Structure 1
Amino acid sequence: MSSLVLAHTRYQLLEQIRVPLGLVASAFFPAASMLAFVVPFGGDDPVGATRATGSMMMIGAMSAAVMGLSISVAQDREQPWNPYLRTLPAGPFPRFAGRILTTMAVMLAATVPVLVIAALLTKASVTAPRLALGLAALLAGALPFMLIGLFLGFLLPSKAAIGVSQVVFFPIAIVGGLFMPPQFMPEFLQALSPYVPSRGAAELVWSAATGSTPNITGIVMLVVWTVAAALAAAWAYRRDEGRRFS
């Protein structure tokens, strides 16, 4: 890892620590959902509680990626320091890499309350290797959401990014089966679920944590969404670059 990437990562982590609202928000909602829904209604089922824990972890990761990243990028674009950084010869990669690594750190931190609640208050069970595999799956599955966050951040002003990111986040999470197991959703949502990126991401985590066979359609669509989000984020960056420096 280059020294520039490390410098940007360190700088953005310090910003996150100094203003920890994004981290608190990413950690609070899935932990509160665990206490309100998983513990009383599914805590006694080892497999169900383990899958639900994975779902809550993915909700926290999606929140950090879609809402946290889009808002921070949009806010940075409005600061006078940002145009100066863009004039430097290093190019955009160190800043992008620093943002992605910082967001991944926030995601992992947001899983801690969920894992503690699952360990103390439910019968969820996972071995250490499967836990490590599940965390790796969490980061891999969150990639399209980080790219979506970058897309929204480069496309929208900060005030709009706050609202739009929430509108994007909640329907995708619901249809993907993160708030309710897919088999309990209405039939039309069950048919739609494999085609949203949250379902494929959840399938990765569920499979890693419990050893279940993932939904192949969901995994394929996760790859498709990742490619599409990468293209959209690159387009939004170039559009913003052209408007500011042409």
Structure 2
Amino acid sequence: MTVDAGRELRLTLAHTRFQVLETVRIPIAVIGNMVFPALALSFFVLPQREIAGDTQLATQAVAQFALFAVMSTCIFTYGVGVAEDRAQPFDAYIRTLPAGPVPRLGGRLLSGGLFSLIALVPLLVLGAVATEAAPSAGQLIGGIGMVLLAGTPFLFAGLAIGYALSVKAALPIAQVILFPLAFGGGLFLPPEMFPGWLDTFSGFLPTRAGRDLLVHVTTGSGATVFDVVVLVGWTVLVAALAVTAYRRDQGRRFR
């Protein structure tokens, strides 16, 4: 490892530590991310014993809400969190330092990934205790990796929101994006329950692509090559929007 690479790594870890501490100082932010997906599973799945009592369907349902947990964490952590940071004088000071944007963005990615994993814990525990979901160890590990990959476009969506909008605008926009995408992607109700037109439309959403890939990893069925194309395409598109928003904000505030 070169001296510059070691320096970047240390700065990235320092930013990660700072952002984790900054988040946990507001416990409700962490608790909300942990509790809400488990509550959604309780409301939508547990009362339906034909789903909760079937191993395949229960595993599929837990996978869907796992993606919702990661998706909501990414959109709110990066969208609202970045917008709040931009409103603070300390953020403007950090962005004038010679370290560059990589450690700051790297810290955001690591802290967001950590809180995404934390958000899965209550959901997985509830799924194991209250349903018949029973993925193998390999499926569980693969599912955790897949859900993080499937959350990538929402990570970039959060960054685009955070760098493009003020705090007052970021929160409602994050909510408007989160719930329609979650419902349309089959995270609350399985796509098999959709009417034909909605099922067709849903196939072009990143939530549906991520959901189908995740279900495939955890149950062995449900994905096509088209899902991979859709997820990669959305990731590239939203990443470009995030980069554009960052550069625009950088040029407007620090020129």
Is TM more than 0.5 here?
yes
The whole-number CA distance in structure 1 between the counterparts of 2:168 and 2:31 is: 20
> What is the Cα deviation at residue 213 of structure 1?
4.6
The whole-number CA distance in structure 2 between the counterparts of 1:173 and 1:217 is: 19
Query: Which residue matches 2:3?
Result: none
The whole-number CA distance in structure 2 between the counterparts of 1:203 and 1:85 is: 40
> What is the Cα deviation at residue 9 of structure 1?
0.6
> What is the Cα deviation at residue 21 of structure 1?
2.4
Letter in 1 for 2:112: T
| Correspondence 1:227 to 2:236 | yes
| Correspondence 1:89 to 2:98 | yes
The whole-number CA distance in structure 1 between the counterparts of 2:220 and 2:27 is: 35
SS class of match (1:129): helix
The whole-number CA distance in structure 2 between the counterparts of 1:192 and 1:217 is: 13
Letter in 2 for 1:241: Q
Query: Which residue matches 2:186?
Result: 177
Give yes or no for contact 2:74–2:154 (8 Å, CA) kept in 1: yes
| Correspondence 1:45 to 2:54 | yes
Query: Which residue matches 2:246?
Result: 237
Query: Which residue matches 1:186?
Result: 195
Match of 1:3 among 6, 10, 13: 10
- Structure 1 unmatched ranges of 5 or more: none
Q: For 1:141-184, what per-residue CA distance to the aligned partner results, in whole angstroms no more than 9, with x for missing partners?
A: 10110000000000110111110000011111111110111110
Give yes or no for contact 1:118–1:124 (8 Å, CA) kept in 2: yes
Letter in 2 for 1:100: L
Q: For 1:34-89, what per-residue CA distance to the aligned partner results, in whole angstroms no more than 9, with x for missing partners?
A: 11121121111110000000011111111101122100000000000011111111
The whole-number CA distance in structure 1 between the counterparts of 2:11 and 2:42 is: 41
Query: Which residue matches 2:169?
Result: 160
Q: For 1:82-136, what per-residue CA distance to the aligned partner results, in whole angstroms no more than 9, with x for missing partners?
A: 1111111111111111111111111111111111111111101111121111000
Q: Tell me: CA distance 1:215–1:22, structure 2 relative to 1, closer, same or farther (3 Å).
A: farther
Query: Which residue matches 2:29?
Result: 22
Query: Which residue matches 1:130?
Result: 139
The whole-number CA distance in structure 1 between the counterparts of 2:125 and 2:46 is: 12
Letter in 1 for 2:10: S
The whole-number CA distance in structure 2 between the counterparts of 1:221 and 1:22 is: 31
Query: Which residue matches 1:99?
Result: 108
- Structure 2 unmatched ranges of 5 or more: 1-5
| Correspondence 1:113 to 2:122 | yes
> What is the Cα deviation at residue 188 of structure 1?
1.3
RMSD: 1.1
Letter in 2 for 1:4: L
The whole-number CA distance in structure 2 between the counterparts of 1:223 and 1:231 is: 12
Give yes or no for contact 2:19–2:111 (8 Å, CA) kept in 1: yes
Letter in 2 for 1:170: F
Letter in 1 for 2:226: T
The whole-number CA distance in structure 1 between the counterparts of 2:47 and 2:240 is: 42
The whole-number CA distance in structure 2 between the counterparts of 1:234 and 1:189 is: 31
The whole-number CA distance in structure 2 between the counterparts of 1:108 and 1:205 is: 15
Give yes or no for contact 1:203–1:219 (8 Å, CA) kept in 2: no
**TM-score, length of structure 1 as denominator length:** 0.97
Greater CA drift, 185-194 or 22-31: 22-31
**Aligned length, in residue pairs:** 246
Greater CA drift, 15-24 or 166-175: 15-24
The whole-number CA distance in structure 2 between the counterparts of 1:202 and 1:131 is: 15
**TM-score, length of structure 2 as denominator length:** 0.94
Give yes or no for contact 2:213–2:222 (8 Å, CA) kept in 1: no
